[in-house]
Amino acid sequence: MSCDCHTDFPNIFLPREAEIVRADQVTASEKHFTLKMKDGKPMEYNPGQILEVSVHGFGEIPIGFASSPTRKNTFDIVIRTVGRVSTAINKLGKGDSLFVRGPLGTGFSLEKLRGHPILIVAGGIGLCPTRSLIQYVLDRRDEFKSFKLFFGSKSPKDQLFLDDLAQWRGSEHVEYLETVDKGEEGWKGNVGVITTLFAKTKIDPDTRVIVCGPPIMYKFVMRELDKLGIPHDNVYVDLERRMKCGLGKCGHCQMNDKYVCFDGPVFSFKDIEHLEEAFS
Amino acid sequence: MKSHFISDSDFSKFVESLIRSVRVVAPVAKKTKFSFETLESVSDLRLDYDVTILPPKKAIMPVKQELVRFNGNSIESAISAQDQVLLGVHFYDVKAIDMLDELFSQGHKDYNWLAYRQHTTIIASNVQKVSNRAFFASVGQGVQAKGHDGFLTKVSGGYVFDAISPKAEALVKQGTFKDASPAQVTEAKVANEKVLKECPETLKHSTEAVQKKVREAFKKEELWKQFSDQCFSCGSCNIVCPTCYCFDVQDEWNLDGTSGKRCRTWDGCMLGEFAQVSLGGGHTENFREERHTRFRHRMMRKATYLNDKLNGPACVGCGRCSSSCVPDIADPVKIINKIMEA
């Protein structure tokens, strides 16, 4: 019997090939990749959006863009070795291929940030997705008022993007404040949780605030922002959940009635603070 | 829409000829229960079934479905849909398929569902026997069954066949159909109305009232803990549900070690690791770690979260979850009625 198979349909699970043009092991467990699309069609995305990254035979994982779309032709991702897929990805190097689907999800609403002071509060690996916005603000500095960046890590050796950090420390374009939960020999900077940085600078109540970090961090940062009188619709959070499809279908990332992969991962705090599953 | 009549013996001939020309998926007996299977012979067809073990969505999105295939560094779509007829679908399952059509169309269109759905002709059939946990008469009363191509109703001496779509009219030409008489049309109507009065279980409140009160009960932790006290987190209620569509995505190698496929498999939000992420170093974060939070999530999805997208609840009252649950705690009627009365 002949097969009357119909195959001419678009397939949202079909990824595109990207070449690794640079790969740096940046910490013991994290690798920083710069990718370029093989088909020549550039990846067009907004800061804060995500993509599904895969290795054939190992599977896909959702990852936030770690570079700004203002940096043309290539884009960055950072992968922490955690499970089967991330381990497979982190064995790859320059010249190897990764497969990507995206951009997916909802990123930062740039029109709501433009013209205002900006504060980004990033904890740990939360610096990776927010780097897409940090670079954007630095590249389009005139579009924003003051720019402050708080970065907290577990320890100095867990710090990511060391070249960036060195640049930001001395930059006149961003007021960069950093802290580590636990210092080590040679560390002269602040020691303490990320909220200890709030006492070190003056924050304009008109500031638009972006928060991304481990789940525990949000409630403590919100407490500080409430003290400053920053309205909740001026606060944006970039959330993490288990995601499989990245398309708002498979259900894994669901937080009450929201799909973090589709409705987010960036949300206005005001839009989700009433959701019982958002920050519990 | 036109109502036709076909006699029992002509119906058998019609199905036999249909089987020879196209894949027909229909209810057949599986020991004391029923299952949608590829029909080999009309003698296997059991349109007198009460409810099937798994819903007919499996004919469109199988338990395990290939999404893409890879070989070395090349990768291709695995979508390959063949025409099929899904015969003997009860109206509650028609509603469920229609909901999945909607959910797989909204936002990103997923042709891994839609392609197979578009090549499926659905011939529904009336409920001849009501299952012992059904509550289809009282759930989502404002939601009409739609999206099917035709509807068969058993009447004396044969079937009344309502041909709804052009695909159904084309099928009529393949069999010995006559125009249904007014008496036959009335008999069919009576049969379909009668069955709505035979459900053993009844939701006592409207969709809107249920949506509001169940959502408001989210923080009644003690209540959810009581409901889920005996839950095994086995996911059976998810797997048998016609409106559940959560899935996992995993890669598989072929034996050659260079080619393989990426597949999705049915998944269940009641399973312990469903919302768990790895943090590295053996640490994990589970966004619904406690059993009662998963139990609550399932009920929220059925009665509240998807209502706005579907214009009704994501439940059709088939009763499969109730009868598949070993400790018998999954029954939406019991849960919802209790919340409404609390």
Option in B115, B252, B277 nearest A242 (CB): B277
**Angle at which helices B291-300 and B332-341 cross, to 10°:** 90
Nearest CA in chain A to B105: A249
> Where are the domains positioned within chain B?
2-197, 207-245+269-341
Give B76's pLDDT tier (boundaries 50, 70, 90): very high
Which has the higher per-residue pLDDT, B76 or A72?
A: B76
DSSP string over chain A: -----B--S--TT--EEEEEEEEEE-SSSEEEEEEEETTSPPP---TT-EEEEEETTTEEEEEE--S-TTS-S-EEEEEE--SHHHHHHTT--TT-EEEEEEEESB---HHHHTTS-EEEEEEGGGHHHHHHHHHHHHHTGGGSS-EEEEEEESSGGG---HHHHHHHHT-SS-EEEEEESS--TT--SEES-GGGGGGGS---TT-EEEEES-HHHHHHHHHHHHHTT--GGGEEEE-----SSSSS-S-TTEETTEETTTT-BEEEHHHHTT-TTT--
**Which residue pairs from A33-37 have beta carbons closer than 8 angstroms and sit at least 24 positions apart in sequence?**
A33/A76, A33/A77, A33/A78, A33/A79, A33/A89, A33/A92, A33/A98, A34/A67, A34/A74, A34/A75, A34/A76, A35/A74, A35/A75, A35/A76, A35/A77, A35/A98, A35/A100, A36/A73, A36/A74, A37/A100
pLDDT on residue A277: 92
pLDDT on residue A222: 96
Q: Is B309 within 8 Å of B106 (Cβ atoms)?
A: yes
Flag whether pLDDT at B132 surpasses 60.
yes
Flag whether pLDDT at A201 surpasses 50.
yes
pLDDT average, residue stretch B298-306 = 97
Q: How many CA atoms lie within 13 A of B6 on its CB side?
A: 21
- Hey, are the CB atoms on A11 and B68 less than 8 Å from each other? yes
Supply the ipTM of this predicted assembly.
0.94
> Is the minimum CB–CB distance between A52 and chain B shorter than 8 Å?
no
pLDDT on residue B283: 87
- Hey, are the CB atoms on A58 and B251 less than 8 Å from each other? yes
pLDDT on residue B342: 83
Give B281's pLDDT tier (boundaries 50, 70, 90): confident
> Is the minimum CB–CB distance between A158 and chain B shorter than 8 Å?
no
pLDDT on residue B1: 84
Flag whether pLDDT at A2 surpasses 70.
no
- Hey, are the CB atoms on B305 and A256 less than 8 Å from each other? yes
- Hey, are the CB atoms on B274 and A6 less than 8 Å from each other? no
Share of chain A above pLDDT 90, in %: 91
pLDDT digit string (tens) for A128-172? 999 999 999 999 999 999 999 999 999 999 999 999 999 999 999
User: What is chain B's mean pLDDT, rounded?
Assistant: 97
User: What is chain A's mean pLDDT, rounded?
Assistant: 95
Alpha-carbon gap: A181 to the closest alpha carbon of chain B (Å): 18
pLDDT average, residue stretch B159-177 = 96
Flag whether pLDDT at A3 surpasses 80.
no
Flag whether pLDDT at B243 surpasses 70.
yes
Alpha-carbon gap: A58 to the closest alpha carbon of chain B (Å): 6
Give A78's pLDDT tier (boundaries 50, 70, 90): very high
> Is the minimum CB–CB distance between B282 and chain A shorter than 8 Å?
no
> Is the minimum CB–CB distance between B83 and chain A shorter than 8 Å?
yes
Alpha-carbon gap: B275 to the closest alpha carbon of chain A (Å): 6
pLDDT on residue A1: 47
pLDDT digit string (tens) for A27-65? 889 999 999 999 999 999 999 999 999 999 999 999 999
B253 bridge partner residues: B260
Nearest CA in chain A to B76: A14
Domains of chain A: 16-104 (2.40.30.10), 110-238 (3.40.50.80)
pLDDT average, residue stretch B303-330 = 97
Nearest CA in chain B to A278: B287
